[in-house]
A and B are shown apart, each in its own frame.
Chain A
Amino acid sequence: MNSSPRDALILGGNRLPFARANGPYAGISNQDLLTAALDGLIARYGLQGARLGEVAGGAVLKLAGDLNLTRESALGTPLDPRTPAIDLSKACATGLEAVVHVSNRIRLGQIDSAIAAGVDSTSDAPIEVSARLRRILHRASAARSTADRLKALAAIRPADLAPVPPRNGEPRTGLSMGEHMALTAAQWGITREAQDELALASHQHLAASYDAGFHDDLVTGYRGLSRDQNLRADSTLEKLAGLKPVFGVKSPQVAEPTMTAGNSTPLTDGASAVLLGSAEFAAERGLTPLARVIDARSAAVDFVHGDEGLLMAPAYAVPELLDANGLTLQDLDVYEIHEAFAATVLATLKAWESEEFCRERLGRDGALGAIDRTKLNPLGSSLAAGHPFAATGGRIVASLAKHLHARHVETGTVQRGLVSICAAAGQGTVALIESVA
């Protein structure tokens, strides 16, 4: 094996426009959404009948029947059925983890090509029965005689019949993600204005990128949508300012709640897929590499005991990533920080600017410093596009790779991009991507 592993190149991507929950994609299964995104990617890059190294994907909200989700979706596409598949799971970081997973495999020479995908539908969230009813039904199913079965079923009480939707909140704290973020936002003093401005920029940048045709080879329309349904091209600060706060409202630690529906991501449905491969694979297929995956890191924080905010893990992962690659925070050309909430991005940036945080929490000599805000989410991000949990990683990686490549062609210099995604249960994944000529 060579001393340094070969490159994992990002060759392109495809996603569906993201729909608001219980909207145009209501009733469409994870599998159908993912298959549609894959079909679009396969058509765009002529992969009909191709036997790829792997299709890695996942969904955060899965039905019991989704147990082989990625494999079943892939079997529904024109890919060669001898293409292996795998399901991964790390809440909102699932999509990025899928990219890292396959790019590691490619770099080690285990596979030559792969698709990293993700899907989520909050309209089809799994609804289960209570634990008591589940046990009764198991007993009834195992019963040998009709009499025994009826006896088992007779134990059902009306209360057992209430369906159990997925929990909205961290199991160990009982707080929802929004409530956790409200605490962090209050601790960092993130203002309402700053959040609304970030949200507005997200909508404006995303709208501009659609208008410029940037998404013509990144998004395939589905079920009547050609753009992300949540996108409000005509959003204004006045409209955002008029919204009522929805998180931190009842929390004593939050003096002034600042988080609204406008500066928080909405519940959405959608799927994304990214095509990666070795240089040989790209050359064989006549595909133009856009960027390569340089490196990635994961971090986790102890949010249960209040040691750190739920969504602050990337603040720890990014410095590690930069150090390992000999870079400062300012050495990057684009920062794609997932907008779980506007406050998440702002708190993370403020942490990096804080001498105290960087010395005491990160053990560094000084602050990492500020970033050039014009380089932050230049194409808009989750606040505008929406955030079907497992689909966001793929959305960001594909559009970042295309953007970096275009800038490289324009400027003649290598462009570096950072991807930073926080996840439920106090985790985060970050990655470094660099353009190729």
Chain B
Amino acid sequence: MTDAYTRFVRSAPGRTIAKQLGLPRPSRLLRREDRPEPVLGPVVVLGRSAGADAITSLLLAEGVDVRRRFDELRTVGSVVAVLDEVAAPAELGEILLPLAGAMRSLAPGARVVSLSRPATGEDPARDAARGGVEGWLRSLAHEMRGGGTANGVQVADGVPLDAPSVLGALRFLLSARSAYVDGQILTVDGAEGTAPADRSRPFAERTVLVTGAARGIGAAIARTLAADGARLVLLDVPGAGTELARLANELRAVPVQLDVTSAGAGERLVAQLRERGLVLDGVVLNAGITRDKMFANMTPDRWDSVLAVNITSQITLMEALIAAGDALGPQPRVVSLASTSGIAGNAGQTNYATSKAGVMAFVAALAERLRELGGTANAVAPGFIETEMTARMPPLNRELARRVSSLRQGGLPVDVAEAIAFLASDEAGGIHGETLRVCGQNIVGR
């Protein structure tokens, strides 16, 4: 699904012209099917803390080629910078500078992951160091070449670095599944979560509901979770019934036809789940629409419909599922779709951005409710993803939207699906109310 511009600059004449004119040349991103190995070796672990030792031992135990220094390495696949015990900004250089000399040895598709702690307000000097990590990380991500990415995991004080969510996040960010996640910091605030019995099928024995599953990102989410062994309940409007049925047939999933904005939709969903004896371990609230119009031309119909589908239906569905008492499993995972438009705003998308910003605040509040039920709620904010929706954008806007990210290209629906699969996994039990951007480090917002 390579866009026309990328195909051009990868051709012989295109390469020369692009180089001469300094035009962007997007690298080919390697995804799960291209690079199935969980870690791109060799890995260098930076840092001197007990945490760094623990991470090194864990990686060694999994048979990864791990080093503590860059000397003698001509190529480096991944770097894990463990900064959990920095107490002052002056301590950062000692740990990070060795990477400077090795930047040119980074392999295509390299991964840099930082492990640090968040600023807490208790110690100004320590906070200055902890806060500084983010600046370094985001700048490094802007500098990474060849499709490489840099991301961070921020682990709350008191949560050990070998907690399931920390290791899960680390694995996700080191793998090819996070190909379109760049310049992001993921916060882990708890030690909850369990490792899967079978890493090749982490969703075995798990039932996940995906709304808006008939097409686009929803269908990609369904396929990714199915590949990971999940039992799926696919929901979409009756109008998409045949597409939904065909995907359900392909994935041996249960189709549920429901307009989530209709009266009593939550109760109808609960009734259908009960009738089939289904208990949900995961809920992916993906159903969403756009009705773009500059605010000056916004009509009540466009405004109301977007809010109804994109956020209100999520609220009512979750209320109904929680109130039912028997609809959710013991470690429920809720993942909702937000958008970079909701973070930074976008001309012509006042309605869409309102709904998506609402989603991010919703999952933060819902996370507290789900914590009581042993579960989590988080959101994924896609940047520019190549879908039917974005294909309808005017060509010039679309081209620009593609290029204003560090990875210089649009992402694919599967990239969003992989991030959702991570947040919905058993392991990610210690991540609450977070929004993970899947945007290739798009310049809008933070």
Contact = CB atoms under 8 A, between A and B. Distances in A.
B249 A224 contact: no
B254 A46 contact: yes
Contact of A217 (B240, B252, B257): B257
A16 B240 CA distance: 11
A225 B238 CA distance: 9
Interface string B254-276: 11011100101000100010011
Interface in A210-241: 213, 215-217, 219-226
Interface in B215-248: 237-242, 244-246, 248
A133 B275 CA distance: 59
A213 B262 contact: yes
A78 B259 CA distance: 26
B229 to A, nearest CB: 17
Given A213-B262, A216-B268, A226 B245 contact: no
B258 A216 contact: yes
A249 B268 CA distance: 49
A48 B249 CA distance: 6
B241 A42 contact: no
Given A44-B245, A48-B252, A221 B240 contact: yes
Contact of B255 (A36, A44, A225, A226): A44
Nearest to B258: A216
B241 A226 contact: yes
Contact of B242 (A48, A215, A217, A221): A221
23 contacts: A16-B242, A39-B246, A39-B249, A43-B244, A43-B246, A43-B249, A43-B255, A44-B255, A46-B254, A213-B258, A213-B264, A215-B238, A216-B268, A219-B257, A220-B244, A221-B238, A221-B240, A221-B242, A223-B242, A224-B239, A226-B237, A286-B277, A288-B275
Contacts of B272: 217
Interface of B: 237-242, 244-246, 248-249, 252, 254-255, 257-259, 262, 264, 268, 272, 275-277
Contact of A225 (B239, B245, B257): B239
A46 B248 CA distance: 9
Given A44-B245, A226-B241, 11 more contacts: A40-B245, A48-B252, A213-B258, A213-B262, A219-B257, A220-B242, A220-B257, A221-B237, A221-B239, A224-B239, A226-B238
Nearest to B234: A43
A401 B11 CA distance: 62
A105 to B, nearest CB: 26
A219 B242 CA distance: 9
Contacts of A16: 242
Nearest to A226: B239
Contacts of B239: 221, 224-226
Contacts, number: 65
Interface in A28-77: 36, 39-40, 42-44, 46, 48, 77
Interface residues of A, number: 25
B247 to A, nearest CB: 8
A42 B245 contact: yes
Contacts of A39: 242, 245-246, 249
Contact of B248 (A43, A223, A288): A43
A436 to B, nearest CB: 16
Contacts of B257: 216-217, 219-221
A219 B238 contact: yes
A63 B134 CA distance: 68
A358 B370 CA distance: 68
A45 to B, nearest CB: 10
A16 B248 CA distance: 17
A401 B8 CA distance: 59
A48 B255 CA distance: 13
Closest 7 pairs (CB-CB, A-B): A220-B241, A226-B239, A43-B245, A221-B239, A221-B241, A43-B248, A40-B245
Contact of A46 (B242, B252, B262, B277): B252
Nearest to A41: B245
Contacts of A221: 237-242, 257
A225 B240 CA distance: 8
A268 B37 CA distance: 55
From A36, A217, A224, residue with most partner B Cβ within 10 Å: A217
A231 to B, nearest CB: 13
A226 B214 CA distance: 14
Contacts of A215: 238
B254 to A, nearest CB: 7
Contacts of A222: 241-242
A44 B241 CA distance: 10
A288 B272 CA distance: 12
B335 to A, nearest CB: 24
A30 to B, nearest CB: 16
A216 B276 CA distance: 16
Contacts of B240: 221
Contacts of B255: 43-44
